[in-house]
Structure 1
Amino acid sequence: MANNAMALDSIFHALADPTRRAVIQRLGRGPATVGELAEPFDMALPSFMKHVGILERTGLIRSRKSGRIRTCTLEQKNLAAAERWFADQRATWASRYQNLDGLLEKLTGEDRGS
């Protein structure tokens, strides 16, 4: 459980930055070179590469180098861990809301019966 929590912490940390979220979003359409990924951002390539490094260490993306070209791909398996966490949270809250709805129906039904 602690390993899973640490993995989620690093994933959410990586996704906390808008540049890294944009990179993930772009890679959702398919592989791209670092140059293609960096193009929309007003930053030097070394600064952009720090973002790529964080995403790679987190396991959200993978890159491979062929000559001078580095191509990045999305690692959907690791992104799925965050999706599962959100799904679990939605299920928990949906259950709580259903319980609250049931209680409210019971209370309002008792008020009408009095």
Structure 2
Amino acid sequence: MVQHWSDRLDASFAALSDATRRGVLDQLGRADASISDLAEKFHMTLTGMKKHVGVLEQAGLVTTEKVGRVRTCRLGPRRLEEETAWIERYRKLWASRFDELDNVLEELTRKERVDGRKNGK
């Protein structure tokens, strides 16, 4: 179970690591599109776009359907809940660390003010 979850995260983050693939997801969030339309929009060859779509499809982020000679792409069924939960866990960790750092800095600033008043008298 853990390995399956890890594999899904790996596939998702690998797919999302590329700006073109993120752009494809953004585009498909607005409307379904053929691979040809996506290739044209991103100024790529058809073969290059097929590879990008394949990576997204493997990650479950995109689905494709071929009707005749046209392969239409749409957002896949995955909603990135696991990825969001993983990121949120680390966001909370870092937020907590920054809150602690803020407390230390506030304490140091307070001590400097007190010491400054003592030395100024």
Taking structure 2 as the reference length, the TM-score comes to 0.75
Match of 1:13 in 2: 14
Count of residue pairs the alignment pairs up: 114
TM superposition shift of 1:61: 0.6
Q: Which amino acid aligns with 1:58?
A: A
- Aligned position for 1:98: 99
Does 78-87 or 31-40 show the bigger shift?
A: 78-87
Alpha-carbon separation, structure 1, partners of 2:6 and 2:52: 22
Question: Quick one: distance in 2 between partners of 1:56 and 1:105?
Answer: 49
- CA distance in 1 between partners of 2:70 and 2:108 (Å): 66
SS of residue in 2 equivalent to 1:10: helix
> After the TM superposition, which residues 34-49 of structure 1 pair with which residues of structure 2 at under 5 Å, given as runs?
34-49=35-50
Sequence identity of aligned pairs in percent? 43
109 and 73 in structure 1: CA distance in 2 versus 1, 3 angstrom threshold:
same
Residue deviations 1:50-103 (CA, integer Å, cap 9, x gap): 111111011111112222222211126343433333322222211111111122
Unmatched 5+ stretches in structure 1? none
Q: Secondary structure at the match of 1:77?
A: coil
Q: Is the 8 A contact 1:64 1:71 kept in 2?
A: yes
| Whole-angstrom CA distance in 1 between matches of 2:91 and 2:64 | 33
Q: What secondary structure does 1:71 align onto? A: strand
Q: Larger Cα Rg: Structure 1 or Structure 2?
A: 2
Q: Which moved more, 1:30-39 or 1:77-86?
A: 77-86
The answer for the alignment partner of 1:109 in structure 2 is: 110
By relative contact order (CA 8 Å, sep 6+), the higher-ranking structure is: 1
Unaligned runs of at least 5 residues, structure 2: 116-121
Which of 78-87 and 15-24 deviates more? 78-87
